[in-house]
Amino acid sequence: MRRALSLSLAALSLLAASGTALADPAPPPAKTDAPRQCFRINDWNGWRAPDAKTLYIRVGGRDIWKIGLASECGMLKSPSSHLVTRVRGSDQVCAPIDLDLSVQDSGGFTEGCFVESIRPLTAAEAAALDPKNRP
């Protein structure tokens, strides 16, 4: 009996030394209550490009979203260019991977534009936009 008790105590001390002894489990990751921000591609109503790496798009009647590109998409600044978007699957855009974007000029030349970030502007950010950059 004494030997069994000694073995049990030895096992407990080994567990405690290894850091796995009866410790409280790690708390679950915190949940965010923020809703996922998305828009439907059909609600996109216009765009402006202040530079070759940034797009501002109008969604619906009043929302403005900022799209950041991974690298310069030089044709954005061409006066004869237009955006081409491809929808594969859902028409919801919630993340950069949801947006397949390219620019085409009047001659039919196309340049792919890889989206790095996408987010809605706050009301203050939208109001602060230069009018020439407002979609």
Report pLDDT digits (tens) over 81-105: 899 998 877 889 999 999 999 999 8
Predicted pLDDT of residue 27: 55
Total-model pTM: 0.71
Q: What are phi and psi of 10, to 5 degrees?
A: -65, -40
85's CB contacts (< 8 A; 6+ apart) are 41, 44, 99, 100, 101
pLDDT in tens, 27-72: 554 544 444 589 999 999 999 999 999 999 999 988 999 999 999 9
Q: Map tokens 């591609």 to a residue.
A: 41
Predicted pLDDT of residue 52: 95
Is it the case that residue 10 has pLDDT exceeding 70?
no
